[in-house]
């Protein structure tokens, strides 16, 4: 277990913030953000002040920054970029949160956040894993994998499970959980190095580089009876190919659409309704925020697996808030080698 060292310091008077200054029409890039600072605020009654330690970078931030077609209202122009983070309470006017408590939640891309309990997704009472893990494998990413797979994918022993962005922060957990459930696991990823990582680090039975291999042929070869569960994070042509390799009564979990560069104007693709019909698929959309009641139990399960050495995860940590603005586009370019975090040490 990692000993966490919180540097001793006196709280500064300024709070640096990453603001959304231009509305992206596709993937948010550095130019859509600006770093500004404001005077540090004090918590009102019922609130507390959190110093952020690890800022999370997530594919979903693209949707939060867009102004169409999403499950939550867009970040306003001029507002702090919506983000999850792990931080430590430094001043509190709420009885359940005391200085020194670690929390994970909606803290935003900034040095400090004044929040209430409703912004907290988990209170990290006795961290059994390194603190950074609570922003990834034990945060939104890992819990999304756990609940999306188990509640919508419903794998059973012997199933063949296909995962896109198989080495990513969600996909890598899906693959490992499916393997632990006795499934045959196939991972799709975009470099040979990540194929190796899928095979040797995350325990996939099969890794396929979708950029160089003929995916449909590979799926026919490695899933001759068809795919029972397809956990898809990318959409687009990979989704189309995967759908055409599904077994009858297969479950498709749509967890992201990362491969589609823009939704306005609406992009075209293969018509998939005949696949849904003839294969009798169940194709469902998974958004974590529908399942928050299950969050704590999922964290507990995943934490136990990490402590037992049964769940591997990688992190790609950069230090300094100045790395935040360009981090989403870097994520979409596949440049990261694990869960992308910004450390505000």
Q: Which is nearer to a copy of itself, 124 or 247 (CB)?
A: 247
Give me the least distance between CB of 241 and a copy of itself, in Å please.
11
Q: Which is nearer to a copy of itself, 220 or 307 (CB)?
A: 220
Q: How far apart are CA 141 and CA 56, in angstroms?
A: 10
Q: Which is nearer to a copy of itself, 259 or 327 (CB)?
A: 259
Single out the segment in contact with a copy of itself by CB under 8 A; choices: 2-10, 65-73, 110-118, 202-210.
Answer: 65-73
Report the chain's terminal Cα–Cα distance, integer Å.
Answer: 19
Task: List the structure tokens of 31.
Answer: 């130019």
What's the number of CA atoms in the CB half-sphere (13 Å) around residue 328?
Answer: 27
282 binding a copy of itself? (CB under 8 A) = yes
Task: List the structure tokens of 43.
Answer: 């918590």
Q: Which is nearer to a copy of itself, 30 or 282 (CB)?
A: 282
Give me the least distance between CB of 285 and a copy of itself, in Å please.
4
Q: Furthest-apart CA pair in the chain: how many Å?
A: 64
34, 35, 128, 260: which one binds a copy of itself (CB under 8 A): 260
Single out the segment in contact with a copy of itself by CB under 8 A; choices: 35-43, 86-94, 263-271, 320-328.
Answer: 263-271
256, 325, 326, 338: which one binds a copy of itself (CB under 8 A): 256
Q: How many CB atoms lie within 10 A of CB 256?
A: 25
Per-residue CA distances from 154 to 80, 250, 284 (Å): 37, 10, 12
276 binding a copy of itself? (CB under 8 A) = yes
Q: Which is nearer to a copy of itself, 110 or 257 (CB)?
A: 257
287, 294, 310, 316: which one binds a copy of itself (CB under 8 A): 287
Q: How far apart are CA 205 and CA 187, in angstroms?
A: 8
Q: How far apart are CA 138 and CA 144, in angstroms?
A: 10
Q: How far apart are CA 114 and CA 94, in angstroms?
A: 12
Q: Which is nearer to a copy of itself, 225 or 278 (CB)?
A: 278
3-state SS, residue 199: helix
Nearest to 196 by CA among 332, 331, 302, 314: 314
8 binding a copy of itself? (CB under 8 A) = no
Residue found by looking up tokens 């896109």 in the block? 164
Size of the site for a copy of itself (CB under 8 A): 38
Q: Which is nearer to a copy of itself, 10 or 268 (CB)?
A: 268
Q: Contact letters (x/-) for a copy of itself, 220-249, by CB under 8 A?
A: ------------x--xx--x--------xx
283 binding a copy of itself? (CB under 8 A) = yes
Nearest to 30 by CA among 262, 320, 323: 323
Residue found by looking up tokens 């419903």 in the block? 154
Binding site for a copy of itself (CB under 8 A): 63, 69-71, 232, 235-236, 239, 248-249, 254-257, 260, 263, 266-274, 276-287, 290
């Amino acid at each position: 277990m990692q000993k966490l060292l919180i540097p001793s310091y006196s709280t500064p008077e300024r709070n640096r913030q990453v603001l959304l200054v231009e509305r992206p029409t596709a993937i948010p890039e550095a130019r859509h953000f600006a770093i500004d600072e404001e005077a540090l605020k004090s918590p009102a009654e019922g609130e507390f002040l959190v110093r952020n330690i690890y800022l999370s970078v997530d594919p979903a931030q693209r949707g939060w920054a867009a102004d169409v077609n999403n499950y939550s209202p867009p970040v306003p122009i001029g507002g702090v970029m919506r983000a999850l983070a792990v931080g430590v309470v430094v001043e509190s006017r709420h009885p359940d949160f005391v200085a020194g408590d670690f929390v994970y939640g909606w803290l935003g891309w900034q040095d400090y956040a004044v929040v209430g309990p409703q912004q907290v997704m988990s209170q990290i009472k006795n961290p059994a894993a390194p603190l950074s893990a609570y922003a990834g494998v034990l945060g939104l990413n890992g819990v999304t994998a756990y609940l999306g797979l188990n509640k919508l994918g419903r794998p059973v022993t012997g199933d063949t499970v296909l995962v896109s962005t198989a080495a990513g922060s969600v996909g890598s957990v899906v693959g490992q959980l499916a393997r632990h459930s006795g499934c045959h696991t196939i991972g799709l990823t975009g470099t040979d190095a990540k194929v190796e990582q899928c095979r040797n680090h995350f325990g996939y039975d099969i890794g396929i580089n979708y950029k160089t291999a003929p995916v449909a042929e590979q799926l026919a070869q490695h899933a001759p009876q068809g795919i029972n569960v397809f956990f898809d994070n990318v959409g687009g042509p990979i989704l189309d190919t995967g759908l055409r390799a599904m077994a009858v009564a297969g479950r498709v979990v749509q967890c992201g659409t990362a491969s589609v560069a823009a939704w306005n104007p609406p992009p075209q693709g293969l018509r998939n309704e005949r696949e849904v019909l003839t294969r009798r698929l169940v194709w469902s959309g998974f958004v974590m925020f529908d399942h928050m009641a299950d969050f704590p139990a999922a964290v507990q399960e995943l934490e136990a697996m990490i402590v037992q050495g049964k769940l591997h995860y990688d992190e790609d940590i950069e230090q300094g808030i100045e790395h935040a603005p360009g981090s989403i586009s870097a994520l979409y370019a596949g440049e990261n080698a694990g869960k992308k975090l910004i450390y505000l040490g």
